[in-house]
Amino acid sequence: MTFVSSGQSEPPRAHFVLVPMMAPGHSIPMTDMARLLAEHGAQVSFITTPVNASRLAGFIADVDAAGLAVQLVQLRFPTAEFGLPDGCENLDLVQSRDLLLNFMEACAALREPLAAHLREQQHLPPSCIISDMMHWWTGDIARELGIPRLAFIGFCGFSSLARYIAFHHKVFEDVTDENELITIPGFPTPLELTKAKSPGGIVIPGLERIREKILEEDLRCEGEVLNSFQDLETLYIESFEQMTGKKVWTVGPMCLCNQDSNTMAARGNKASMDEAQCLQWLDSMKPGSVILVSFGSLTCTAPQQLIELGLGLEASKKPFIWVIKAGDKFPEVEGWLADGFEERVKDRGMIIRGWAPQVMILWHQAIGGFMTHCGWNSTIEGICAGVPMITWPHFGEQFLNEKLLVDVLKIGVEVGVKRVTHWGQEQKEVMVTRNAVEKAVYTVMDDGEAAEELRMRAKDYAIKAKMAFNEEGSSYNNVSLLIQEMRKRTNASA
């Protein structure tokens, strides 16, 4: 176990232990949460493993420079003991679905080392654990230490509520046709969902037992922390609170704590390209003229589908930045890019292979639209950017986020995905044609009245997001209240 980084000499009394799931979409918002809690005066221990810590170098340098009380606690990840390849410490490094169970069990084996570390913290005992919901085993640690465990689902209120009802009311239990539309009972607005498109729609043998544990701990946690804000989806947040009977702390959009371009560029991982060059390219484009295409960290889009997407972007004649993760896995995509495509679009298209500084790009004034897989982080980052979105969900809760964007907030346009591409499973067919891509790009980027309305609504939500996050906003106040509450409890039990 090693300790890196610590800021103030007199740490504040509330001490938060953050236990993120090791997957980019789960740990990135937790780094934002760490920064936010520390900026509001709390002490934070951020639990990680060596491979993940190396991705956090930029984050740690940043919080150090700012003098924030964030301590990175590295625990050895037991890859060998659980049949995982050396270094396989993040979900995006798990090469096959067959290894998912091993990965989850290796995570659960962190329970004793983490408990041992926390028992030693007598100088500043933990006040509270904020744990990714997937780490059900942190419940045992919280009970042993006599401190609250808050769950971080990583979803918005809309999707958290649908997930809660679907799981705890066993809505899909007896459903045999995974494409049958089922009404979600008790949802505050009409909602129909298929089993395939519901959160946790993936059934992986062996994982049922872990899912049961996660659900048990869902019911036992003291509250939920949501990366969302009241003005975005009050109805769903309040219903979620009522349905669970637990306090829901909305503290988002947490990504807004990344204010300068260095912080944005270093977020999540080291960028695979030169950030300065990228910014220079964006600076050379007209405001609102560029569409960003990025499908997060875990999706696996079929090579033929990627080619079709590229042809749609080309046909749209709009400038674009296209982040491609699969290039190295799919030589045919690489071959196709090199065989004329890159040359044809060189004046208006930038292709990023690998990790992109997404927030840095998305929040640049040149961006006018975002084609997204609707992971919640990307979605809320898009909301903060104030640009309309083209929705291309792949699996799980992404389909619910699509509904929120398109049907509720009305700042998104569906590209037309009909079926699910499960995590770790390659999609074989072309589901979205180049014409559909071209049409969706026009719908959000053209000069017509409908596009203008989309843009106005998107801008309006971005303003509301900032108001919630800034001093005296609802999320700002919730962070302060959360810290106060935990400090009070620590003092009462001291």
Q: Does 367 sit near ligand UDP (CB under 6 A)? A: no
- For ligand UDP, the binding residue among 69, 256, 359, 420 (CB under 6 A) is 359
How far apart CA 317 and CA 305 sit, in angstroms, is 19
User: What is the per-residue binding string for ligand UDP in 368-407, x denoting contact by CB under 6 A?
Assistant: -------xxxx--x--------------------------
**Among 119, 156, 106, 114, which Cα is nearest to 131's?**
114
Nearest distance in Å: CB 305, ligand UDP: 17
Nearest distance in Å: CB 20, ligand UDP: 12
Nearest distance in Å: CB 155, ligand UDP: 9
**Among 235, 248, 352, which Cα is nearest to 293's?**
352
How far apart CA 140 and CA 109 sit, in angstroms, is 12
Nearest distance in Å: CB 481, ligand UDP: 25
Residue 307: CB partners within 8 Å, gap ≥ 6? 332, 333, 336
- Of 22-30, 231-239, 468-476, 484-492, which part binds ligand UDP (CB under 6 A)? 22-30
Residue 270: CB partners within 8 Å, gap ≥ 6? 55, 57, 58, 355
- For ligand UDP, the binding residue among 24, 41, 126, 349 (CB under 6 A) is 24
Q: Which CB atom, from 275 or from 381, has the smaller least distance to ligand UDP?
A: 381
Nearest distance in Å: CB 376, ligand UDP: 5
Nearest distance in Å: CB 101, ligand UDP: 20
Residue 159: CB partners within 8 Å, gap ≥ 6? 199, 376, 397, 400, 401, 404
If you compute the radius of gyration of the chain from its CA atoms, what whole number of angstroms results?
22
- Of 21-29, 237-245, 406-414, 451-459, which part binds ligand UDP (CB under 6 A)? 21-29
- Of 95-103, 242-250, 326-334, 354-362, which part binds ligand UDP (CB under 6 A)? 354-362
Positions in 314-353 near ligand UDP (CB under 6 A): 323
The residue count for binding ligand UDP (CB under 6 A) is 19
Positions in 255-274 near ligand UDP (CB under 6 A): 267-268
Q: Are 406 and 382 in contact (CB under 8 A)?
A: no
Nearest distance in Å: CB 434, ligand UDP: 23
Nearest distance in Å: CB 137, ligand UDP: 21
How far apart CA 29 and CA 253 sit, in angstroms, is 9
Q: Where are the alpha helices (H) located in 321-424, listed in sequence order?
A: 331-336, 342-344, 358-362, 376-385, 398-403
**Among 412, 428, 324, 307, which Cα is nearest to 369's?**
412
- For ligand UDP, the binding residue among 11, 12, 20, 25 (CB under 6 A) is 25
User: Looking at beta carbons, which pairs linking 171-175 to residues 24 or more positions away fall under 8 Å?
Assistant: 171/198, 172/198
Q: Does 356 sit near ligand UDP (CB under 6 A)? A: yes
Q: Are 316 and 289 in contact (CB under 8 A)?
A: no
Positions in 90-119 near ligand UDP (CB under 6 A): none
> Which residue number has the CB closest to ligand UDP?
25
Q: Which CB atom, from 194 or from 372, has the smaller least distance to ligand UDP?
A: 372
Q: Are 129 and 148 in contact (CB under 8 A)?
A: yes
Q: Does 297 sit near ligand UDP (CB under 6 A)? A: yes
- For ligand UDP, the binding residue among 82, 229, 240, 355 (CB under 6 A) is 355
Q: Does 28 sit near ligand UDP (CB under 6 A)? A: yes
Task: Tokens for 224, please give them.
Answer: 């939920």
Nearest distance in Å: CB 420, ligand UDP: 14
Tell me how far CA of residue 5 lies from CA of 19, 38, 45, 74, 193, in angstroms: 17, 13, 10, 11, 45
Question: Rule CB under 6 A: which residues touch ligand UDP?
Answer: 24-25, 28, 267-268, 294, 296-298, 323, 355-356, 358-359, 375-378, 381
